[in-house]
């Protein structure tokens, strides 16, 4: 069929459907592999510096996981009810109308997922590679080139077929889970007297203050960056087999698995390093392996971290082009992006566009700036999407819902409050970066009006 389509010059590529080829296991791997990236290796030290108490540090990870789960159960309901390519874009469109859904897709393209891909590429080339002695002196220009090649490779893999992207995702997920498994096993069973139970409780938390409250909030921002990714499986809903069952189940299994893995990893880190030492570490897992097994173990884990970052970025490349593809098919983005490749059956123009833009972003900001842009912009839309569960229960009561949100309406409300808290924390602590993210969202309004005007003028079929 693909060959016949390719041979026919009159075929309209904007009408070719994406094939449903992703299994339940693929959805689980998309969630786990997308969430576990550089975050669990790089952000524990940042959180330890924000909240220098092991109990508070663990609380940040537990609370962050809890709120991520609350979001996941809401997304599971929406995904099962509307299993179309685009995920959040579709849910916002149905709940609030086309303007807000467009602003999400606009921000996803310009900042959220392009920023995630760029951030991971920058982490790969400038934060992890220089840890190898042979690469410690590589220049900034070389690091930038490596980041660009990193992104281009992912673009090519996903261009030639969703199954190729899914296979790469599955492989990278196996590797990164193995990496964390090695760290946990070595810490608890081969620590040679280095581990101390008292590291879990000392020093005790300071008495409550507003400074501590906001520090906890910024720690939450960092943990939620590390948990980011459970939502992306919904973007590929149009390619999931039996989506009303496999999509919600995959999201929930994947999210719960990540929460367990993250808590085990942080317990392992704390068992070996007091929280004060952890705060000084640039990358806790390699430092832990170096302390317990010498340079070989540190090098091994560093190599595995490179694969972990690759897998997290691949999830973005595998899923987010489906959002821009859905926008274009609604007539609210560049028409070429609505095309599906007649041979590979992928949104190939959308993949090219996000690859090019992500490469450009690697040239414009540091890891920390991109990190803040992503979290602030994303959680505004996350909160609105989860609240869409409540809106659609009233607006479309007859909509078929194979799965309903656990703990409704409490869990959606708690998640929305968490989203507001995260956005407010970012605004207070990183005002300039957060406002830059808000400006990008607002710039989408004239862009929407432009495409809406074109759509209104287009002749009806």
pLDDT at residue 5, as a whole number: 46
pLDDT at residue 365, as a whole number: 63
pLDDT at residue 369, as a whole number: 64
CA distance 444 to 353: 17
Q: The whole model's pTM is what?
A: 0.87
pLDDT at residue 348, as a whole number: 95
Q: Name the residue among 331, 254, 307, 360 with its Cα closest to residue 37.
A: 307
Mean pLDDT by 10 residues, the chain (461 residues): 48 84 94 84 82 90 91 93 93 95 92 85 79 75 88 96 94 91 91 85 83 81 81 92 93 94 93 89 84 87 85 92 95 94 94 94 68 71 95 94 93 91 76 79 92 83 52
pLDDT at residue 340, as a whole number: 93
pLDDT at residue 361, as a whole number: 86
pLDDT at residue 234, as a whole number: 93
Burial label, 313 (beta-carbon count in 10 A; 0-12, 13-18, 19+): buried
331 dihedral zone (left: phi>0; alpha: psi -120 to 50; beta)? left
pLDDT at residue 284, as a whole number: 86
pLDDT at residue 1, as a whole number: 44
pLDDT at residue 373, as a whole number: 67
- Domains of the chain from N-terminus onward: 20-398 (1.20.1740.10)
């Amino acid at each position: 069929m693909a060959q016949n389509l390719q041979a026919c010059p009159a075929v309209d590529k904007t009408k070719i459907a994406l094939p449903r080829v992703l299994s339940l296991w693929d959805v689980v791997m998309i969630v786990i592999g997308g969430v576990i990236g550089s975050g669990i290796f790089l952000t524990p030290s940042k959180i330890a510096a924000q909240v220098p108490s092991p109990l508070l540090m663990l609380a940040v990870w537990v609370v962050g996981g809890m709120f991520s789960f609350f979001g996941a159960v809401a997304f599971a309901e929406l995904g099962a009810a509307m299993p179309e390519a685009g995920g959040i874009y579709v849910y916002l469109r149905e709940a609030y109308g086309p303007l807000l859904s467009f602003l999400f897709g606009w921000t996803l393209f310009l900042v959220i997922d392009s920023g995630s891909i760029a951030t991971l590429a920058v982490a790969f080339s400038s934060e992890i590679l220089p840890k190898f002695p042979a690469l410690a002196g590589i220049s900034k220009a070389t690091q930038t080139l490596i980041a660009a090649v990193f992104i281009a490779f992912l673009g090519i893999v996903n261009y030639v077929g969703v199954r190729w992207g899914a296979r790469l995702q599955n492989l990278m997920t196996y590797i990164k889970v193995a990496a964390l498994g090695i760290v946990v096993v070595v810490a608890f069973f081969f620590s040679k007297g280095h581990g101390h139970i008292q590291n879990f409780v000392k020093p005790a938390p300071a008495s409550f203050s507003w400074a501590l409250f906001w520090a906890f909030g910024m720690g939450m921002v960092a943990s939620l960056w590390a948990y980011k990714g459970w939502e992306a499986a919904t973007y590929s809903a149009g390619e999931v087999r039996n989506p009303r069952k496999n999509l919600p189940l995959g999201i929930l299994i994947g999210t719960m698995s990540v929460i367990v893995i993250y808590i085990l990893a942080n317990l392992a880190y704390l068992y070996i390093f007091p929280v004060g030492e952890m705060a000084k570490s640039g990358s806790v897992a390699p430092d832990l392996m170096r302390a317990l097994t010498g340079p070989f173990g540190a090098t091994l884990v560093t190599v595995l971290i490179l694969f972990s970052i690759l897998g997290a970025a691949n999830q973005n490349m595998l899923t987010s082009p489906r959002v821009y593809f859905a926008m274009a098919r609604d007539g609210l983005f560049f028409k070429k992006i609505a095309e599906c490749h007649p041979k590979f059956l992928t949104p190939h123009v959308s993949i090219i566009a996000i690859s090019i833009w992500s490469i450009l972003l690697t040239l414009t900001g540091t890891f920390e700036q991109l990190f803040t842009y992503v979290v602030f912009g994303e959680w505004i839309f996350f909160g609105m999407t989860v609240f869409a569960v409540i809106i659609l229960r009233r607006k479309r009561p007859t909509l078929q819902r194979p799965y309903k949100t656990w703990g409704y309406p409490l869990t959606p409300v708690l998640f929305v409050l968490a989203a507001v808290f995260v956005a407010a924390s970012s605004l207070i602590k990183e005002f300039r970066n957060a406002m830059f993210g808000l400006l990008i969202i607002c710039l989408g309004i004239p862009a929407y009006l432009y495409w809406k005007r074109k759509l209104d003028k287009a002749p009806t079929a």
